[in-house]
Chains A and B, each alone.
Chain A
Amino acid sequence: MNAPYYKFGYFNDEVSLIIAFIIGIGFGFFLERAGFGSSRKLASQFYFKDMAVLKVMFSAIVTAMIGLYYLSVLGFVDLSLVYVSPTYIIPQITGGLILGVGFVIGGYCPGTSCVAASTGKIDGMIYLLGVILGIFVFGELFAWIEPFFYSTPMGKIILPELLNLPYGVVVFAVVLMAIGAFAAAEWVEKKTASKSGGN
């Protein structure tokens, strides 16, 4: 009944690194299974040809969200011990926009580029070098970025708190939204396919 196990001291940091490795294997495996080792497949999302990014991402979010919700309601997991990163709304939206542009130019996000690189994609390896340079530049310019980086702090805040709704209601709304998005994605894919002559 005492999950998350790490936070209750069931194992030490060394063991946690082994667990990290195993969890990483699972992460990489399913990313590759979904076809996310291919930049062309990922980028197709933004031309309405193949909505796999949206489908995979939202089914993963819904699965983990529902799982965590029910495990917490049953008292198996102490939800308050699961780390929620604090929100700094304006820098995060700005970062998201830059990241989105980088996504469609580079064709990957950091996680998927690892899978691309390990399955032999040269563009994935070059992309990773770009990521490393980008982080280096960010860090070197940090003194200059710092005031913006820490602007608009909202603390640790989740949607149920923001909307003042019970947690379960937000879970329901996200599930509903995801199913709507899936239906829309299937419809859009069919439409794009018929436009370009079934290709």
Chain B
Amino acid sequence: MTTITDTIRNEVIDKTKAKAEKTAQPYWNPYLSGIGLGLVLLAAFVVMGRGLGASGAFTSLISAGMNAVAPEHTAANNYFNEYIGDGEQSPLKDWLVFEVIGVFVGGFISGSLANRIKKSVDKGPRIGSHKRLLFAFVGGGLMGIGAKLARGCTSGQALTGGALLNLGSWAFMMAVFAGAYAFAYFMRRQWT
């Protein structure tokens, strides 16, 4: 008898455990996450003398890809050839590329610890997955163009330049919020 009750009890415990594991933990207080992010940025300033970035890594990735497929075409392109450099080493052997690999890993670590790793499409309730993915692609494309035009994205310009009181970064940051708020009305079906 004792063995049966034990098994039942163990099963119940296992089930509650599994249930607890599946529930994603709530996000951190935004101010604390922000301070954490700020300390990482500060570490980059102190150790490297530079800030964080993201979009630059993808430019290096594209440059490397193009260089492999069509080296002459890439060398003739004034934008990508800067990322290729003198060709002595791969454009992928770049600070930002390694940093962004770290971002993937760091995001995964945090997500695993909080049970937030889940294959899903994130969207509002009033839009289908296919449409959402189309919007994600279009938005990403605009973001790529905008980030290159502004010489950096939210991490490289707004965050890094913001902390360094860089004029261009603050102007950029205001423009990002202005652009997003101005266009938010047209996207309300996607998110709300």
The residue that A138 contacts in the complex, of B49, B145, B155, B172, with Cβ under 8 A, is: B145
| Distance A53 CA – B121 CA, assembled complex (angstroms) | 20
A 98-120 binary contact with B (CB < 8 Å = 1; else 0): 11111111111111111111111
Supposing A71-B46, A95-B150, A126-B133 touch, asked if A28 and B105 sit within 8 A by C-beta, the answer is yes
A88-146 at interface with B (beta carbon < 8 Å): 88-89, 91-124, 126-140, 142-143, 145-146
Chain A positions within 8 Å of B116 at CB level: 32, 37, 119
Contact with B along A22-50 (1 / 0, CB 8 A): 11111111111111011111011111010
Q: B122 contacts the other chain (Cβ, under 8 Å)?
A: yes
Q: Which chain B residues lie closer than 8 Å to A12 at the CB level? A: none
Contacts of A26 in B (CB 8 A): 36, 39-40, 43, 102, 106
Chain B residues near A162 (CB-CB < 8 A):
167
Give the residues from 104 to 144 in chain B that come closer than 8 angstroms, CB to CB, to chain A: 104-111, 114, 116-124, 132-133, 135-144
Tell me, yes or no, whether A84 is within 8 Å of chain B by CB: yes
Interface size class of B (residues with CB under 8 A): 35 or more
Contact among B37, B47, B96, B172 for A34, CB-based, below 8 A? B37
Residue of B nearest to A51 (CB): B30
Best-surrounded residue of A67, A95, A129 (most CB of chain B within 10 A) = A95
Is the C-beta of B35 less than 8 angstroms from some C-beta in chain A?
A: yes
In the complex the two chains form, what is the Cα distance from A63 to B31 in whole Å?
Answer: 10
Interface of chain B residues 63 through 109 with chain A (CB within 8 A): 63, 66, 77-80, 93, 95-109
B38, B78, B95, B97: which contacts A143 (Cβ < 8 A)? B78
A158 CB, nearest partner CB in chain B, Å: 5
The yes or no answer to A73 lying at the interface (CB within 8 A) is no
Contact B107 A92 (CB under 8 A): no
- Asked whether any CB of chain B lies closer than 8 Å to the CB of A62, the reply is yes
Among B107, B122, B153, B158, contact of A40 (Cβ-Cβ < 8 Å): B122
Q: Report chain B residues within 8 Å CB of A28.
A: 102-110
- B141 in contact with A131 (CB, 8 Å): yes
Q: Are the C-beta atoms of B102 and A92 separated by less than 8 Å?
A: no
Of all chain B residues, the one with the shortest Cβ separation from A112 is B154
Decide if B98 touches A130 in the complex (CB within 8 Å).
no
Residues of chain A at the chain B interface (Cβ within 8 Å): 3-7, 16-35, 37-41, 43-47, 49, 52, 55-65, 67-68, 71, 76-77, 81-89, 91-124, 126-140, 142-143, 145-146, 149, 154, 157-162, 167, 170-171, 174, 182
> Can you list 23 contacts pairing A with B, beta carbon distance less than 8 Å?
A4-B50, A21-B102, A26-B43, A27-B155, A47-B192, A57-B34, A57-B159, A92-B168, A97-B179, A98-B143, A101-B182, A103-B154, A106-B137, A106-B142, A110-B54, A110-B55, A115-B107, A116-B122, A118-B103, A127-B143, A130-B137, A131-B55, A143-B77
Given A22-B102, A30-B37, 4 other A-B residues pairs in contact with their CB atoms under 8 A = A97-B146, A120-B119, A133-B137, A137-B141
